[in-house]
Amino acid sequence: MNIFVSTALLALALASSPASASDLTVQNAFARATPKGAQVGAGYLSIRNDGASADRLTGVAVDFAKAEIHEMKTNNGVMEMREITAGVEIPAHSTVKLAPGGYHLMFVGLKHPLIKGETVEATLTFEHAGALAVDMPVLPIGAPGPTGGHDMKGMKM
């Protein structure tokens, strides 16, 4: 009985922090602070799909910029990124990371800088799960974030 109760409480505690829609859970979301006058910013997160069928991240919206889904790749030694218009597949029973050096959320035409210590909200849109609001704490410029990775210096815009 005691074991059952503590397990239930633990599950409740774990369920209370990440944003969740149906079988999808968003974890480790963060945005990077931007220098004054910067036109673009970036955000990162992990999406876990506990469901038996795939879903697809098809869009993202924020109120402080135009938001796009991007992918960064190294091409002949040069970091390049492009917009992913077809969305990002989240396969069943797996986690897809949007992390520095790969997929990321790109905030284009910032209306204001992203300030370290603040939190911004993004709304993710999934093909099946629909809209999901996510809070993204703003970490210092260049922060690799909770999921690790390298910084974006030298990327080709």
Residues interacting with Cu ion, by CB under 5 A? 70, 81, 106
* Closer residue to Cu ion in complex, CB, 70/129: 70
* Least distance between Cu ion and beta carbon 6 (Å): 43
- Residue 135: CB partners within 8 Å, gap ≥ 6? 19, 29, 119, 120, 121
Q: Which residue has the tokens 């993710």?
A: 124
Q: Which residue is nearest to Cu ion (CB)?
A: 70
3-state helix, strand, coil in the chain (%, to 5): 10, 50, 40
Q: Which residue has the tokens 């991240």?
A: 57
* Least distance between Cu ion and beta carbon 69 (Å): 9
* Least distance between Cu ion and beta carbon 106 (Å): 4
* Closer residue to Cu ion in complex, CB, 17/85: 85
